[in-house]
Amino acid sequence: MKNRVIEYLSNRKLLILGFGKEGYSTLNFLHNNGIDCEVDIADINSVDPPHWFKGSKIFSKDYQTVIPDYDLVIKSPGVRLENRFKHCRNISSQIDIFLRFFKEQVIGVTGTKGKSTVASMIHHLLKDCGKDSILGGNIGVPVFDIIDDIKSSTHIVLELSSHQLQFVNFSPSTSILLNIFPEHLDYYENFDEYSNAKKNIFKFQNSENTLYINSSIKAKTKSRVIPFSSIFDSSDKEKYPTNLLGDHNKQNGMIAVKVASDIGIKKSKLIKSLESFIPLKHRLEYFGTYRNIKFIDDSISTIPESTIEGVKSLKGEVDTIILGGKNRSDNIKFNNLVQFLERSNISNIILIPETGLTIKKLFSMESSKNIFLEETLEKSVERSFKVTQKDKYVLLSPAASSYNMFKNFEERGELFKEFVKNYSERT
């Protein structure tokens, strides 16, 4: 199958649009396999390709104007296309090319929240039960980097973001659509464009393919549809033991077990394997007790709905929550979150810019909550030590993106842990 990818890319004039991690992966794949093609790089920022790169480097704010000059444009996920280029037929991507040739082996997982966990769970279950499985995609492994490891028996589990799915022309043979909430609305024209990108995970499926889907999402498809309502059984939850917090994660476990059991693995064996799944970082991650206060890193929570689920998972034990981050769109509303917090047992609400200011205005003047505005995450940690009851939780669950202060949610989570540990060591 790799030879077919090489053949597809050969004898073409190629443009790598966006030279981040995936763009670099594409260039390496072309170089390492000696693919006979002309390849150039275009990016809004000036970047340094490898010393052996001989193609053109187009670095300017107008870098997208060269798109029509190429046979094939391999777009990186983070590149937001100008409207005039969105319908160019030469637009492709690593994921689009990969699915063209490997879709029959792919188990694709997407959703606004939960996709990393479910994809990792499925991969863990398959590996633990003796199946050949590879994990890649948005989880941090570009798909061109795994091609050499794929055999005909390999199950390829991909976490797929909306950015990766937006311009694909193929869908995985097995697709999982967990949920769709408003997010990335600073990238998309509107919620419908974002939602449609997610739905591309099943758009091109056929009658021999399978779609596992949240029962609240309408899906017009030729594939075999398995709604989550047929998977979830509230009386069955305790039979799915995991090391993860929250009922939503038990449901994630049920989905992963169902997908793996449909491959042909005994359900009893899968449920046992689920116990050994190690939770991912920054997802309701308990990382220690400091000065008799428990701390949870849920930096991955970048939308209000995820934060609400996080609080519910801790069963009324949260005394302090830290909220706030980049305001990506006025279409993301915090009213339901504030109403939920008002009804909760949480005593202290610490807010940081930018959305913290918006959230504060939604609380009534008569609110019983202790509301604090802090300029930084570090100051928020200091405040949390001063106001939180002993043996209770401090939860970082921002309900907003990290990009106003941090490189990404991972950096935000790691710094949160560092600030907590540093403050606890003060005399």
For the domain covering 283-424, report its CATH number: 3.90.190.20
Give yes or no on whether 1-91 and 97-274 have one common fold.
no
130-142 mean pLDDT: 96
pLDDT at 251 over 70: yes
Question: Using one digit for the tens of pLDDT, what is the confidence trace for 324-333?
Answer: 999 988 778 8
* CA distances in angstroms from 69 to 19, 24, 212, listed in the order given: 18, 21, 40
**Statement: residue 321 has pLDDT above 60:** yes
Classified by CATH at the fold level, domain 1-91 comes out as Rossmann fold (3.40.50)
pTM of the model: 0.91
Q: Is 344 exposed, middle or buried (0-12, 13-18, 19+ CB in 10 A)?
A: middle
The answer to whether residues 211 and 223 touch, using CB atoms and an 8 Å cutoff, is yes
Architecture of domain 97-274: 3-Layer(aba) Sandwich (3.40)
Q: What is the mean pLDDT of residues 399-425?
A: 96
Domain locations in the chain as residue ranges: 1-91, 97-274, 283-424
For 210-237, the pLDDT digits (tens) are: 999 999 999 999 999 999 999 987 556 6
Q: How confident is the model at residue 157 (pLDDT cuts 50, 70, 90)?
A: very high
Q: Rounded to 10 degrees, what is the CA torsion of 191, 192, 198, 201?
A: 180
